[in-house]
Structure 1
């Protein structure tokens, strides 16, 4: 494939890694893209992410013109071309020609290139792309979400997933000033949402550490700890570090704890860039011991189903059975967090998940395991949060909230007072 467009070749390989290899993009981006020039790296990732995002609609467009399911690599070539034509801004003739070249270079290419050309031409002649339903989630995820939220809410979530995610910033101070300077708006919770971000590291304020990238929903849990100035706070499972930066900027004496040395190195780099300080500890949170903290923030490992706006590979690479160990780990980590906080101290538990097993059910189970543990729902009434979003067990944030402003990640947040 040496004469082919390297970005398309890499994008096709990434699609195979996710759809056939059942691997997340985060696991394969480096090996697949490191040899490419920076513009090709960016384009390959954009093509792969976009194709995964619109795959369900692409398959619907292909359906009338494909009598038998194509070989996986050929199927992905067709999906990639359809994304390029209808959502990627590539002229149809260029996308079709590139798809034919990709097909010819596959192991079965001699017999498939003509089919690829014919099918794509038929799809183009048929039209009606915009009339097709928005991409639906895979059944393994859509079914439990329908049971939990109902058809209308899930449809609104799927619309948010199709739109993708804007770039949000947490700023040290003066959100309105930074929104004006960078071109964006201040969200009700105080985050700054950019209109046209471009290259993040080239924006004013990045090198000076005036702000960091953090989805607006992800910035809410740290605020549920209240005034932390001078308090000893443990950020448990801290990487990638946005909440550590928040807490440090609010004046807390932060200990950032995580198992990943590589990810914690990035946390250290961001702390240095932002002129903030925190103790960094690389250790297993289940084994970590220290003098009791005033407060603990636990953003537990989870299914990440609330982040599908930016990670459309996740529901294609994972399945429901993959999450049972994570759910068990969340309970163990919450139990551990309660041993690391002073009596009466606050523990905030959160997951970027839409599944109640990783949110409301964890709260009910924790209350049953720990007599004297108290929910502090008042702590969740932070600025910009609609009180209607706070349920009996905690705060439920959904991708379809703030739909007119670009949505938010899905999160569940609970605040406890330790016995």
Structure 2
């Protein structure tokens, strides 16, 4: 399952950093960690941040996993934990710009073995350029951190580079606008090819913002009431609410999701507006037998169950499916859950509808998961597209004649979207594309591709906070 929904549809781990302006000049002045008399929490929070970057770039571990596995993180005060998340996500979100600035300050590239030093420099630059940390605090703690990690030989270099950036951070930002500089080259080139330079730049710019929090109401008729309770606004898609990162006065909305009104009652779950659309494309599913393949984290399973479908939900991961079960219980919804590899499952057939949210590169979720941009590689795509083809074939075999299949991914890569559908239609003569209509996507005609599929970009609805990048196609089986 692609990670477009939060890890837990009712209890995500939203980023804690302050809203970042498109010019990347603003950041949270209140996010600095607390400090004891000897300043040790300052260093320990940054040390944990360095561990997390090391897990991502040396061990290729997703940030959410690295956060969950770090034994020292829970020992920090809540404010310091927030600072760690803010520092790491800000560094990842702006890493292309940060590396560009570092490249201007280094007379020669750092050796490959100096990854730890490079990550220390990245953390220091992120504090100076984006988090409004006092320059002396950012520089001194990074120099101290280098010493504690056995990189004493680089203390002078770290001090000199960070002080140079601190003298005029805006100049370094101006030299690295959003676009080709702010993304891995392969990703930038692929988006330019697929969408053109202008749209690719808009997508890259959208990634500089911390995304808002979207809610899917269990009862759409109650959306207006919960909008008032949650300080959220109604979105074009019926029953969808959006809670901004900050209030109109600019104050951060720090409240935990579990403490928000309606959580305990199971009135809503967290799910990006774009991620809500694929399940809605099945239309009225009340009383129908629907199978959700690769179901975790469960937002779409909840949608189908709330709409009255008889839902069977599969996922390979037992722990992830257990969290789906917990959330369905909170939401007072029911689905038949089964731990299984969807491609190998033989538990039934002739379903009225199949929803396949296939494993993918997740490049449409970079604004929520900025580590994705730096963890993925073009060499990942052949394996992923092979899996997507196998799952599509399986999904078609489970569908009754006359049934409906929704294929979707949270990827911006055409190889994982329309090209997979064209290949599937070529393999299966009995399947045909069913065009998506404007009213099915909240009246937003720009979300429909020329071929009639659903395609959202992070730059869509930019003034309202953007959308996750999503693709979905609807296919009908003959008969």
TM-score, normalised with respect to structure 2: 0.83
- Counterparts of 1:62-77 in structure 2, within 5 Å, are 62-70=102-110, 71-77=114-120
- Counterparts of 1:277-356 in structure 2, within 5 Å, are 277-289=334-346, 290-356=348-414
Q: Say which is worse superposed, 227-236 or 65-74, in terms of deviation.
A: 65-74
Pick from 231, 235, 258: which aligns with 1:187?
235
Q: Say which is worse superposed, 130-139 or 300-309, in terms of deviation.
A: 130-139
- 2:72 pairs with 1:26: no
Shift of 1:63: 2.6
- Counterparts of 1:52-131 in structure 2, within 5 Å, are 52-70=92-110, 71-109=114-152, 111-127=153-169, 128-131=171-174
Distance 1:77 1:150, change over 3 A: same
Match of 1:154 in 2: 200
Structure 1 distance, partners of 2:476, 2:443, is: 21
Unaligned runs of 5+ in 2: 1-38, 247-252
Q: Say which is worse superposed, 78-87 or 226-235, in terms of deviation.
A: 78-87
Deviations 1:45-71 (A, max 9, x none): 221111111111112222332112232
- Counterparts of 1:189-228 in structure 2, within 5 Å, are 189-190=237-238, 191-195=240-244, 196=246, 197-198=253-254, 199-228=256-285
Deviations 1:375-415 (A, max 9, x none): 11146741414234322151111111001011100011000
Pick from 84, 96, 99: which aligns with 1:44?
84
Structure 1 distance, partners of 2:365, 2:443, is: 19
Any idea what SS the aligned residue of 1:349 has? strand
Structure 1 distance, partners of 2:335, 2:132, is: 45
Distance 1:311 1:383, change over 3 A: closer
Higher RCO (C-alpha 8 Å, min separation 6): 2
- Counterparts of 1:259-278 in structure 2, within 5 Å, are 259-278=316-335
Any idea what SS the aligned residue of 2:342 has? coil
Any idea what SS the aligned residue of 1:88 has? coil
Match of 2:16 in 1: none
Deviations 1:335-388 (A, max 9, x none): 111111111011100000001111110111111001121111146741414234
User: Are 2:434 and 2:452, in contact at CA under 8 Å, matched by a contact in 1?
Assistant: no
- Counterparts of 1:397-416 in structure 2, within 5 Å, are 397-416=456-475
Structure 2 distance, partners of 1:416, 1:202, is: 40
Structure 1 distance, partners of 2:379, 2:390, is: 19
User: Are 2:314 and 2:340, in contact at CA under 8 Å, matched by a contact in 1?
Assistant: yes
Deviations 1:266-292 (A, max 9, x none): 000000011111111111111222142
Deviations 1:65-108 (A, max 9, x none): 21122322122111111211232232222111211111111222
Structure 2 distance, partners of 1:64, 1:355, is: 31
Structure 2 distance, partners of 1:139, 1:365, is: 27
Distance 1:364 1:176, change over 3 A: same
Shift of 1:124: 1.2
Structure 1 distance, partners of 2:62, 2:342, is: 24
Structure 1 distance, partners of 2:439, 2:390, is: 27
| Cα RMSD, aligned residues only | 1.8
- 2:214 pairs with 1:165: no
Distance 1:331 1:151, change over 3 A: same
Structure 2 distance, partners of 1:405, 1:387, is: 16
Structure 2 distance, partners of 1:137, 1:267, is: 33
Match of 2:445 in 1: 387
User: Are 2:128 and 2:165, in contact at CA under 8 Å, matched by a contact in 1?
Assistant: no
Any idea what SS the aligned residue of 2:295 has? coil
Deviations 1:10-53 (A, max 9, x none): 11111122223332223322222565336244432221111111
